[in-house]
């Protein structure tokens, strides 16, 4: 019984398979009897969430380590540059989306006045307002 849960746990940790593969394996009875649903889901979710802190804290260190290696260096450098570009774009737009969402809230007001919606708010920010 422990072996079945261990296999489901390990399958749920694989990046592309994750829960889409682990849950059907546990329910199909590929190892004999099908596993009970609630413990199966809990096992799969824990197995899926366990690698997240390691990836969050150590992914950049691993990419920096591998950036100067012969075979994997180009790919790791590409990943680092792409991540830095995405981070800069997020920092530029950080406060704008919040302000636009507050301004566009008046779109559903009871008064019949013309209110600013999401598109017109974003157009203002393009022109520097």
For 27-49, what is each residue's pLDDT tens digit? Answer: 987 777 888 999 999 999 999 99
Judge whether 13 lies within some domain: yes
Examine the pLDDT at 124 and tell me if it is beyond 50. Answer: yes
Domain membership of residue 20 as a residue range = 2-52
Percent of residues, the chain, with pLDDT higher than 90: 43
3-class SS string, 65-90:
HHCCCCCCHHHHHHHHHHHHHHHHHH
**Who wins on pLDDT, 94 or 88?**
88
Q: How many residues are present in the chain?
A: 129
Query: Which tokens go with 83?
Result: 């991540």
The answer to whether the CB of 121 falls within 8 A of the CB of 104 is yes
Domain contains 66: no
Number of domains in the chain: 2
Average pLDDT of span 2-16: 90
Terminal-to-terminal C-alpha distance of the chain: 63
Asked whether residue 106 carries a pLDDT value surpassing 80, the answer given is no
User: Is 29 domain-assigned?
Assistant: yes
Q: Is 61 part of a structural domain of the chain?
A: no
pLDDT of residue 11: 92
User: pLDDT per residue over 55-87, tens digit each?
Assistant: 889 999 999 999 999 999 999 999 999 999 988
């Amino acid at each position: 019984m422990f072996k079945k849960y261990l296999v489901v746990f390990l399958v749920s940790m694989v990046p592309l398979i994750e829960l889409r593969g682990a849950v059907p394996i546990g329910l199909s009875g590929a190892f004999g009897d099908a596993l009970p649903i609630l413990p199966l889901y809990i096992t799969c979710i824990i197995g899926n969430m366990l690698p997240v802190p390691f990836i969050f804290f150590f992914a950049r260190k691993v990419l920096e380590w591998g950036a100067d290696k012969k075979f994997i260096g180009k790919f790791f450098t590409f990943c680092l540059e792409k991540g830095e570009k995405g981070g800069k774009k997020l920092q530029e737009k950080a406060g704008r989306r919040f302000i636009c969402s507050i301004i566009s809230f008046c779109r559903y007001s009871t008064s019949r006045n013309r209110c600013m919606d999401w598109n017109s708010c974003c157009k203002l920010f393009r022109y520097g307002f």
